[in-house]
Amino acid sequence: MATITEAKIIVTSPGRNFVTLKITTSDGVTGLGDATLNGRELAVAHYLQDHVAPLLPGRDPDRIEDMWQYLYKGAYWRRGPVTMTAIAAVDTALWDIKGKVAGMPVYDLLGGRARDSAMVYGHASGATLPALLDDVERFQDLGYRAVRVQAAVPGLSGTYGVRHGTVYEPAGGSLPEEQVWSTEAYLDFAPHYLAAVREKFGSGLHLLHDVHHRLTPTEAAHFGRRVEDLRLFWMEDPTPAEAQESFRGIRQATTTPIAVGEVFNSVWDCQQLITERLIDYIRASVVHAGGITHLRRIFNLAELYQVRTGSHGATDLSPVSMAAAVHLDVTVPNFGVQEYMEHDPLTHEVFRPAYELSDGALHPSDVPGLGVELDEEPAARFPYEPKYLPVHRRTDGSVHDW
């Protein structure tokens, strides 16, 4: 029996910070798992280094489910983004190893493809409406069939979710930037630019919009109603989801589809949302929701309630995460869409994924395992730099919800 011989944590910042776990077995097979938690990267790196890596040598890499249970239940302290991201890294690396040993792509280990590829959505944004319309057109010309649409809100000094430059990167300075948010200004403006995009591009393009948890349930219900006729693919994160039952009012008020879950880390964050059908899309991801093993459980539960998948896939999810996501996406019957953002070109000096983007969809590679490599020599040239997501304050100075 092969055993795990080494678990190495690689922290690198090619364009942005990434934490990656590399597990090696006594047969010399290696597997990769993403462990990046935006703005809290070193917490996961230390959790892995101090509390997980020492437990792994000598263990059987084949026993993926047992490893998951051992790390989740065995720690006593369950759930939470740091723990679940660390478990995800181990889990993902073991699926990668299992695929390489079996000579199969991970999607085949998961039961085989239920579709050929995973439709993705791109991120169009603009400081002005004309700039936004141009950006949507650019994505359409690139072959995207689904586009998330965000515009800067007039009167605010900055609007989260609007790209600066060519690569979307929400994490910024070495201390969190503080931005002012006005719900009133947003509610006045957003329906107009969404309508303008629908009018220009017609009904053939899927339009998505991210509210970034900024509304109360009542405001979200109002917003969903106002944009109902635009037939959005989804409105994302309309309100914070700690109180799952708060989605009931939004659901009853509007038929605009609801997506939520990029900050979730376990099935317990969305059990009620799914079983009461309070949402249409679950956005939990491989890296933050306990790896392929746990995310598959969430997706399987969602399937029973006609909730589809729409996993988070911003630039803070490394190409290792994206590879794992695409393998899972093509196997689940209730797949909806996959978020996808191009990484900074520097990222590809370190990570070499074999998935391909064409016709607005990601196609998993058919090489054994996940089909992604990490080159440690360039990784060492990009040391960690503290970078934080911004903090939002209301016009009265108090801290706002995300």
Q: Do 266 and 82 contact (CB within 8 A), yes or no?
A: no
Any catalytic annotation for residue 281?
A: no
- Say which entry of ligand KDG, Mg ion, none residue 96 contacts (CB below 5 to 8 A, set by partner kind): none
Strand 391-393 and strand 18-25: the pairing is unpaired
CA-atom Rg of the chain in angstroms: 20
Task: Give whichever of 185 and 389 is closer to ligand KDG, judged by the CB atom.
Answer: 389
Stretches 109-117, 308-316, 342-350, 357-365: which one binds ligand KDG (CB under 6 A)?
A: 308-316
Comparison of 163 and 296: residue with beta carbon closer to ligand KDG: 163
Among 72, 121, 160, 193, the one annotated catalytic: 160
Burial of 127 (0-12, 13-18, 19+ CB in 10 A): middle
Q: Which is nearer to Mg ion, 67 or 314 (CB)?
A: 314
Q: Give the Cα separation of 94 and 87 in Å (integer).
A: 11
- Residues numbered 248 to 307 that lie near Mg ion (CB under 5 A) are 262
Q: Number of residues in contact with ligand KDG, rule: CB under 6 A?
A: 10
Q: Which of 124, 314, 328, 372 binds ligand KDG (CB under 6 A)?
A: 314
316 is an interface residue for ligand KDG by CB under 6 A: yes
Question: Token pair for residue 226?
Answer: 């106002």
Contact pick of 41, 91, 169, 262 for ligand KDG (by CB under 6 A): 262
Residue 41 near Mg ion by CB under 5 A: no
Give the three-class secondary structure for 48: helix
Q: Is 316 in the site for Mg ion (CB under 5 A)?
A: no
Q: How far apart are CA 368 and CA 89, in angstroms?
A: 18
Q: Are 30 and 24 in contact (CB under 8 A)?
A: yes
Helix (H) or strand (E) holding 84: helix 81-102
- Cβ-based nearer residue to Mg ion, 210 or 219: 210
Q: Which does 314 bind (CB under 5 to 8 A by kind): Mg ion, ligand KDG, none?
A: ligand KDG
Compute how many other C-beta atoms are within 10 angstroms of the C-beta atom of residue 399: 10
41 binds ligand KDG (CB under 6 A): no
Give the active site residue among 123, 212, 288, 294.
212
Q: Which of residues 171-230 bind ligand KDG (CB under 6 A)?
A: 210, 212
Q: Which stretch binds ligand KDG (CB under 6 A): 81-89, 183-191, 271-279, 310-318?
A: 310-318
Distance separating alpha carbons of residues 364 and 354, to the nearest angstrom: 7
Which stretches within 40-80 are classed as H helix?
Answer: 41-46, 64-73
What's the min distance (Å) between Cβ of 198 and ligand KDG?
20
Show the binding pattern over residues 9-38: x = contacts ligand KDG (CB under 6 A), - = does not: -----------------------------x
Interatomic CA distance for residues 324 and 398, integer angstroms: 39
At residue 332's C-alpha, the angle toward residues 235 and 35, to 5°, is 75
Q: Which of these, 400, 321, 284, lies nearest to 20 by C-alpha position?
A: 321
321 binds ligand KDG (CB under 6 A): no
Which of these, 389, 362, 391, lies nearest to 16 by C-alpha position?
389
Residue 400 annotated to the active site? no
CA atoms of 262 and 113, how far apart (whole Å) = 24
Kindly tell me which residue out of 41, 169, 210, 316 binds Mg ion, with binding defined by CB under 5 A.
210
- Using the rule CB under 6 A, is 170 a contact of ligand KDG? yes
Which positions are annotated as active-site residues?
Answer: 160, 212
Tell me which residues touch ligand KDG (CB under 6 A).
Answer: 38, 170, 210, 212, 262, 312, 314, 316, 339, 389
Tell me which residues touch Mg ion (CB under 5 A).
Answer: 210, 262
